[in-house]
Structure 1
Amino acid sequence: MNLLEYAINMELDGAQYYNDQAELNKDNELYNVFKEMAKDEMTHAKILKNKMNEIAFELKDDRNLENVKNIFFSAKDFKTDIKDIPGQIEGYRLILNKEKESIDLYENLLNSSNDEKEREIFKYLIKQEEEHYEIIEDIITLLNHSYEWVESAEFGVRKEEY
């Protein structure tokens, strides 16, 4: 298996994982986030397949994921809607590791390529995977915040009343 085939399989695995996460989160805002991330992974796989098969392709920066992220993080009742499934945060940390592996792979491919079109693809994919990494990191922060707030609510900083 060459590196492009490996990258395609990695993207397809990522899409399946994000679709699975979406199903686990049907009742909250994470559903849309994971569906968009799965869609992005499928697009990445298609771009790589087209490159491998020497078929024309377009690198679009449509910002769909950014729009979902904006909706997701501006939700007023976000903290109350999302339930932490046991081990969910650990699962998100595994996703972070996978996204980091993707970034590292595409950086290595970028550095070893002399083909300008190929380099353009790898730069695009690095940027996309970095966005995924950032979103998952934000989800972990939000889930951790609920634990930290509950643990420190009684002893947290309070405004002095006069």
Structure 2
Amino acid sequence: MNSIEFAIKMERDGEAYYREQAKNNQDNPLNAVFLLLAEDENGHAVLLKNELAKISYDLADNEALADTNNVFKDRGDFKNKFEKIPNQLDVYRMALQMEKDSIELYQKFYQESADEQTKKLFGYLVKQEENHYKIFDNLITLVERPEEWVEDAEFGVREEY
């Protein structure tokens, strides 16, 4: 299995994980976040398949980070719903680790790529996975330090990246 085939499998595994979490969170705003991430992972797998098949593709900017912030807009009761979800912090930490592993792997593949197009694709995927990482990092902070966050769309004032 080459690096692209491995990356496709990893993206499909990530998509399945996020879809499972979306199903587990059907009754709260996190469902939309997990569905957005699942669609992102699916899109990444499609890009990788196109690269493998040498089919042309575009590396468009992704707004998943902004979209997840919008999911929580005008959701004043989010904090109360959130506290009722068991083991959610474990889910976020696992997802955070998955995203970190993806970033590290894609950075390695980027450095090892001889082909410019493949190198560009892995660089793009690093940035995408870094955005996913930020989403889960913010959610973990929301759970661990709720008294520091405002109950609105933007999770309160955040450090700029």
CA contact (8 A) 1:21 1:34 kept: yes
Q: Separation in 1 of the partners of 2:57 and 2:137?
A: 30
* Post-superposition offset of 1:66: 2.8
CA contact (8 A) 1:4 1:52 kept: yes
Counting aligned pairs with the same residue, the percent is: 44
RMSD: 1.7
Instruction: Give the letter aligned to residue 7 of structure 1.
Output: A
CA contact (8 A) 1:32 1:68 kept: no
Residue by residue over 1:10-42, the C-alpha shift from the partner in whole angstroms, topping out at 9 and shown as x without a partner, is 000000100011111111111111100000000
2:123 is matched with: 123
Instruction: Please give the TM-score of this superposition, normalised by the length of structure 1.
Output: 0.83
Superposition map of 1:75-114 within 5 A: 75-114=75-114
What is the count of residue pairs matched by the alignment? Answer: 147
2:69 is matched with: 70
Where does the alignment leave 5 or more consecutive residues of structure 2 unmatched?
149-161
Residue by residue over 1:111-136, the C-alpha shift from the partner in whole angstroms, topping out at 9 and shown as x without a partner, is 11122211111111001100001101
Instruction: Please give the TM-score of this superposition, normalised by the length of structure 2.
Output: 0.84
Q: Separation in 2 of the partners of 1:95 and 1:67?
A: 18
SS at match of 1:90: helix
| More displaced stretch, 80-89 vs 123-132 | 80-89
CA contact (8 A) 2:65 2:135 kept: no
Q: Separation in 2 of the partners of 1:62 and 1:111?
A: 23
Which structure has the larger Rg over C-alpha atoms? 1
Name the structure, 1 or 2, with higher relative contact order (CA <8 Å, separation 6+).
2
